[in-house]
Amino acid sequence: MSTRSTINIKNEDGTVDGIYCHYDGFPDNNGKMLLQHYDTEEKVRELINLGDISFLGPTLNQNDTKSYHRDDGDPIEISMYANEDSVDGADYNYLWKDGMWWMSEWAQNKWIPLDQIIMEAKSEKFYPQINEEVKEIHEEYSPEWFYIQAEDAVPTRMKKAFRDVVHDIQITLQREESFTELQIEDYLKHLIEEFVT
């Protein structure tokens, strides 16, 4: 079953060029692929210039990314839109603008930073399980550290308390055989990004 997506780039005059991708368009696949491997305007334009594609891979080589034009000899198809609000027609629509990736789901016309969407989806899948393991630790501390907004504005006392909490969480998770070191490290990074930065 296909999960359709479009991959687009906003031009300086506000118009948008884009292509269609037939398979694996959900954020956990195409979204991550775009964030990790197509992170400059030059790379994005090179991808768009292939025309519509069957599937997206980490490189534009034929083994990774299949272009209907390049690989099957079909006429090249590149969609052109008057502006970003005109982009639609797929389950997931990706847009490169302002030096970063954005995503909009079908018929929503609301562009959200792609890295934010992927982080939220990741939290839904993985972090609730870990959060159950560390819930008791969280409850032992004053909730004031949850509202840290900026590192420079945080008193030394609160910084130390936060580090102590993170350390205790790390020790607790290391005792759980269900979590790998990479999962623990990833969770702690997310925790710090969420509450300190």
- What residues does each domain of the chain span? 5-113, 126-195
Could you read off the pLDDT of 102-124 as tens digits, one per residue?
999 887 778 999 988 887 665 55
Q: pTM of the prediction?
A: 0.64
pLDDT of residue 82: 95
Residue 147 in tokens: 């509202």
Long-range contacts of 121-125 (CB under 8 A, 24+ apart): 121/27, 121/28, 122/190, 123/190
Q: Which stretches of the chain score pLDDT less than 50? A: 141-153, 197
Q: Are strands 79-81 and 92-97 parallel, antiparallel or unpaired?
A: unpaired
Specify the pLDDT at position 144.
44
Residue 98, judged by CB atoms within 10 A of its CB (0-12, 13-18, 19+), counts as: exposed
The pLDDT score that the predictor gives to residue 195 is 58
Residue range 25-50, pLDDT digits in tens? 999 899 999 999 999 999 999 999 99
For residue 48, the one-letter residue type is I
- State phi, psi for 65 to the nearest 5 degrees: -125, 125
Return the pLDDT at 151.
45
